[in-house]
Amino acid sequence: MQLNGQNLYGRYTAFILGALLSCACTIASAAEPEVAPASRNPEAKNMRLVGWNDLQARSAYQPVVHHQGNRWIAYIGHHGGTTEIPQPLNPLTNQKENNGTSIVDVTDPAKPRYLTHIPGEPGMGEQGGAQMVRVCDGKTLPKADASKVYMLRTGGSSSQQIWDVTTPERPTLLTTVISGLKDTHKNWWECDTGIAYLISDGRPDGWRTKRMTKIYDLSDPANPKFIRNFALVGQEPGSKMEPMPQDTHGPIVRGNRVYFGYGTLLAGTIQIIDRDKLLKGNPASKEPYAPTAENLLYPQISRLDLSPFIGAHTTFPVLGMDVPDLEHFGKYSKRDFLVVVNESTQNECREDYHMMFMVDITTETKPFSVSNFHVPEKSGNFCSRGGRFGTHSSNEDMGPIYYKKMVFISWFNAGVRAVDIRNPFSPKEVAYYIPAINKNTSKRCVKTADGERCKIAIQTNNAEVDDRGYVYIVDRANTGMHILELTGEARKVANFTK
């Protein structure tokens, strides 16, 4: 019988079906992930949005912005896919592709233009994609083709690759530096020398750790030359040390020093290394690079073991700081520091709180922590928003606009925080930006007594800056890349020329 409302039975049946549909919709709605009201709109202080790109709804990790000819190009490494969307659609090819590397023209930051996507390795999260990227000009690398631009990236968790990105719209694979790995992570590439520190799986070579450093000479990117393996004492083949030190997360190089961070969230280590000794090896040993405790200790200047609940995700050197409060206090008024950032890894604050620390390394053999910066949870009720709340990383560019003045710290569901470090003994926040969620923002879940609770929240993963002063943040939860600039009092802290 037609439900046309023309008779009592029809009207009654329509009423019952309508009620059932309404009930079903209510049940479905209740099962949908929660969204904190604050997440529906951007939140900002002294920072404004300039431009945005969706990055094809891919989970983003490391952004690098490179001045390439008369253009500015952003290269973004991606984590692998998710169980919900293992292979997002690439609208440029109309093909579903494993997360890999996005290349975006940001010459006009208000209108970023997606150029191409290089697919990565299948897999979920850090076991897929191509999360790490670095870029060097051939004219800077000692033995490269001066007309070329090169990109170093992880090939998922199994390899390290070099691509020719001279024409960023048409990247081509140049060579695979190393393959057969089961883990990779946060590399560093010295463009002026070509030395690359590749965080890679050490187990194929007998090391005890899944992440250690393989050092290569990539001065001629087409012909990689292996130099040595390196890690902490206790991670070398044959060691019986327990507990074994935490895995290497990544290095940052400045001058003749390599600053290593180990362990991202707990029982971490900061290590300062003499670069020349690291590269040349121990002259007192018959095998200068052999994986012995003696050879591993030879280039070490100092090592600072951290608290059981503190890690070292990023160790960013800020050297030669003139501290205003110390100007009348003798030779130690000029200080060297490391900005050390831990990584939050658990949703809804189910862990110790992770933050940013300033470590004084003026006397390199005696590093010590002098201050910290954190975002008060109650300032945004962040634990109830869903996803991770806490630090992840700092920017790594050392250009003159921000260096020694300000750092940008990614804080997951608290967005990016601009921290004034001119007085390193009392760092303070001067700006922040928390993007709004969008249709691509994915859910984050926790286990409960009743099963699972899911919420949709911003997860600002990494931040970087360029030499124009723009700030780039990318989102772990597929929200895209936001390009920002400072405003108001925060802009006065930086070294802008106009």
Instruction: Please write the tens of the pLDDT for every residue from 483-495.
Output: 999 999 999 999 8
Question: pLDDT by residue (tens digit) across 335-360?
Answer: 999 999 999 999 999 999 999 999 99
What was the pLDDT predicted at 117? 98
Q: 């992840």: which residue's tokens?
A: 392
- pLDDT over 70 at 247, yes or no: yes
| Percent of the chain clearing pLDDT 90 (strictly above) | 87
What's the whole-number mean pLDDT along residues 80-106?
A: 94
Label residue 27 by pLDDT band (50, 70, 90). very low
What's the whole-number mean pLDDT along residues 109-129?
A: 95
What's the whole-number mean pLDDT along residues 309-318?
A: 96
**Average pLDDT over all residues of the chain:** 93
Handedness of CA 384, 357, 195, 229 (dihedral sign): negative
Report the b/e string of 240-249 with b at 16+ CB within 10 A. eeeeebbbbb
pTM of the model: 0.93
What was the pLDDT predicted at 31? 59
What's the whole-number mean pLDDT along residues 174-181?
A: 97
Q: Which residues are CB-contacts of 293 (< 8 A; sequence separation ≥ 6)?
A: 233, 236, 239
Which of 466, 482, 484, 486 minimizes the C-alpha distance to 474? 482
What was the pLDDT predicted at 32? 79
- pLDDT over 80 at 3, yes or no: no
Q: Which residues are CB-contacts of 342 (< 8 A; sequence separation ≥ 6)?
A: 264, 265, 268, 310, 311, 312, 313, 354, 355, 356, 357, 390, 391
Question: pLDDT by residue (tens digit) across 431-466?
Answer: 999 999 999 999 999 999 999 999 999 999 999 999
d(CA 374, CA 352): 13
What's the whole-number mean pLDDT along residues 300-320?
A: 96
Element (H, E) at 453: strand 451-456
- pLDDT over 70 at 67, yes or no: yes
Decide which of 399 and 3 is more confident: 399
Decide which of 158 and 19 is more confident: 158
Q: Which of 17-21, 31-35, 188-192: highest mean pLDDT?
A: 188-192
Structural domains in the chain, sorted by start: 1-27 (no CATH), 42-493 (2.130.10.10)
d(CA 461, CA 413): 9
What was the pLDDT predicted at 82? 84
d(CA 71, CA 349): 41
Q: Which residues are CB-contacts of 413 (< 8 A; sequence separation ≥ 6)?
A: 39, 382, 385, 386, 387, 388, 389, 434, 457, 458, 459, 460
Structure tokens at 133: 């990227």
